[in-house]
Structure 1
Amino acid sequence: MTTAPTPTSRPAVGGVGRTLRLGALRVGYEVRSYFRQSDALFFTFLFPSVIFVIFAAAFSASGDVGAGPGGKGGISVAAYYLPGLVASGIVLSGIQNLGIDIAVERGDGTLKRLGGSPLPVVSYFLGKVGMVLVTALAQLVLLLLVARFAFGVTLPDDGAAWSRFAWLFLLSILMSVMLGIGISGLPRSGRTASAVIVPILLILQFISGVYFNFADLPDWLKTIAGIFPLKWIAQGMRSVFLPERFAQVEQTGSWDLGTVALMIAVWAIVGLVVALLTFRWVRKDG
């Protein structure tokens, strides 16, 4: 059986400059396509902000989190939920959206058609990386604006916190892109992509300190969550957005940023290896 040529079978034409130029053009195409998909727009882009509003409004009457006996010294429920939903947004933009997007493109033959086009393979993936970065940044800005102006959440005001956020965000984006490409091969078709990928990430959000206080979870569930990257992204984001005293309730009694960086980096490598071993340009039955 003959198959259409894939991008990996073509020699590079035009050099690095052409590849980067086409990659930049591809970013624009990917971003426009993303915002034209109503389901992706709600379940990835708007989802963290919507959940944030619901949780912050629903639990605001329960009082401040971490308050002392006199009711002072705590932070609002909105402020407490913010870092977990920042972490969740990164994973949704990268792993979920990218995994589903590539699986759908493989299922409907888009990847096969790109295989017969002059588009370099690097340009294709640059487009995907750029799309995740742009949409994740836009999603982050929206969430922070909602938190600040709708619920009065005080954001960090020192450069050290934002520097920490920058490397956490970029490393997490890299990891999410690698895992998104890798997980795209899990669904057998584009039609089943959402049904396969979404539940996995939904479960991880529930056990990784996004929707519940991680310190309140049973030890065995904390151990399971600690295997996966979302728990570590959320912990890193708590070190950015929560007061330093909240580090005492973490498993090690500190933010443990060295382990945070290590675990996210390890999962980036895992995603890269899985992508290299399993990524294909045609359907499994193609």
Structure 2
Amino acid sequence: MTTTEARPLPGTLALGLARGGAELRQFFRAKEAVLFTFALPALLMALLGSVFGDEIPGTDVTTSQMFAASMIGAGIISTSFLTLGVGIAQDREDGTLKRLHGTPLPAASYFIGKLVLVAVASAAEVVLMLAVAVPLFDVRLPTDASRWLTFAWVFVLGVISCSLLGIAASSLARSARSAPAVLNLPYVALQFVSGVFILPISSLPSWMVTTGSLFPLKWVSQGFRSVFLPDTLALQEAAGSWEHGRIALVLLAWCVAGLALCAVTFRWTDRRAG
């Protein structure tokens, strides 16, 4: 008599990676959403960057180059905060979350899958925006390893913090249809107060600088400016320096705060379902 040994269930990470593959396939099948997600930040960079053409006094850097570096930060926040906020609101309304909640799939695996989607989309967004910024605005790619290391940790902390905020903010939308409007409003407003659309950031009113400093977008954009612009441009920042230590601390703090907000606000079912 033979016995069949039960195979162990895949771990949380393995299930999350498998879920991430499913999320990527679903995302890239929605061609209109893919086009909007990737094209809008790059289009804004191309159009507005062409307006900002003057050289910054005392430097050989143009305002379009500074704007392009800032927009790279805004682009990855679009692919993390907006993509997750809208996507989870849709999953909640169409019952996907409710069905997954009733399966053996751990909640952590679902969120790992979403983070895989965001990480791939954000990396693709950076590549696209650099493909626009380098030939159009002569943005120079870094040649030393330290700048690429800065790029890596700003990218990772920015994606994680804004993804967690997107998960938390998904509960603000009453429906999947209203989610883009609800989430785009703070995102667009923060681009102004965070020094993305108005440069240099030191020219902003102090209350705008203070408000922008409370949120990740300002620090992510500042981090990317430190990667793609010469160090002399640090004097154009509100504090007169790149503040790498403060960038890391603020983004880490938002990772922790975002995790706490997710725990408090996340809902598996649509609020109209009771």
* Rounded Cα–Cα distance in structure 1 between residues aligned with 2:63 and 2:159: 26
What SS does the aligned partner of 1:262 have?
Answer: helix
Q: Secondary structure at the match of 2:155?
A: helix
**Cα deviations by residue, 1:123-158 (Å, 9 ceiling, x for unpaired):** 211110100000000110111122223443211111
Runs of 4+ in 1 over 3 A off after TM superposition: none
Q: Tell me, yes or no, if structure 1 residue 138 matches structure 2 residue 124.
A: yes
* 1:180 matched residue in structure 2: 166
Q: 2: CA distance between counterparts of 1:81 and 1:205?
A: 11
1:275 aligns with 2:262: yes
Residue type of the alignment partner of 2:257:
V
Identify which of 220, 228, 235 aligns with 1:233.
220
| Runs of at least 5 residues in structure 1 that lack an aligned partner in the other structure | 1-12
The alignment-based identity, stated in percent, is 41
Contact 1:40–1:97 (CA under 8 A) maintained in structure 2: no
Over 3 Å counting, the alpha-carbon distance change for 1:211 and 1:38 in structure 2 is farther
In the alignment, residue 57 of structure 2 is paired with which amino acid? A
Match of 2:30 in 1: 37
Q: Which deviations, in whole Å up to 9, do the C-alpha atoms of 1:152-197 show, x marking residues without a partner?
A: 3211111111111111111111101211111111112222111211
Cross-structure match for 1:161: 147
8 Å Cα contact 1:182-1:275 kept in structure 2? yes
2:180 maps to which of 194, 204, 221: 194
* Structure 1 residue 97 displacement after superposition: 0.9
The partner residue of 1:51 within 39, 44, 48 is: 44
Which residue number corresponds to residue 244 of structure 2?
Answer: 257
Residue 271 of structure 1 aligns to which amino acid in structure 2? G
Task: Please list the CA deviations of residues 19-72 of structure 1 after superposition, one character each: whole Å capped at 9, or x if unmatched.
Answer: 333222211211122223345324432222111111222333xx22x233xxxx
What is the distance in 1 between the residues matched to 2:185 and 2:26?
24
Please state how far the C-alpha of 1:104 moved relative to its aligned partner: 1.1
Structure-2 separation of matches of 1:209 and 1:59: 14
Q: What is the match of residue 10 of structure 1?
A: none
CA drift at 1:248: 1.1
The number of aligned residues is 266
TM-score normalised to structure 2 length: 0.91
Q: Which one of the candidate residues 222, 237, 246 is aligned to 2:233?
A: 246
1:241-264 Cα offsets, whole Å, 9 max, x none, are 111111112222111111111111
Which residue does 1:8 correspond to in 2? none
Counterpart of 2:20 in structure 1 is 27
- For structure 2, which runs of at least 5 residues remain unmatched after alignment? 1-6
**Structural RMSD (CA):** 1.7
Go from structure 1 to structure 2 and tell me whether the alpha carbon gap of 1:228 and 1:39 turns closer, same or farther (over 3 Å shift). farther
Q: Is the 8 A contact 2:139 2:228 kept in 1?
A: no
Aligned to 1:102: 88
Q: Give, in whole Å, the separation in 1 of the partners of 2:120 and 2:86.
A: 18
Task: Report deviation, 1:101.
Answer: 0.5
Q: Distance in 2 between matches of 1:209 and 1:14?
A: 51
- Helix, strand or coil: the match of 2:48? helix
Asked if structure 1 preserves the Cα contact closer than 8 Å seen for 2:76 and 2:122, the reply is: yes
Supply the AA of the counterpart residue of 2:186: I
Tell me if 1:93 matches 2:79.
yes
Contact 1:87 1:237 in 2 (8 A): yes
| Residue of structure 1 in register with 2:106 after alignment | 120
Give the conservation status (yes or no) of the 8 Å contact 1:48–1:85. yes
Instruction: Indicate conservation of the 8 Å contact 1:168/1:236, yes or no.
Output: yes
Question: In 2, distance between residues paired with 1:251 and 1:150?
Answer: 27
Aligned 8 A contact 1:226 1:232 in 2: yes
> Which residue, out of 25, 36, 57, partners 1:67?
57
Residue identity in the other structure for 1:51: L
Residues 32, 77 of structure 1: alpha-carbon distance in 2 compared, 3 angstrom cutoff: farther
**Aligned letter for 1:227?**
L
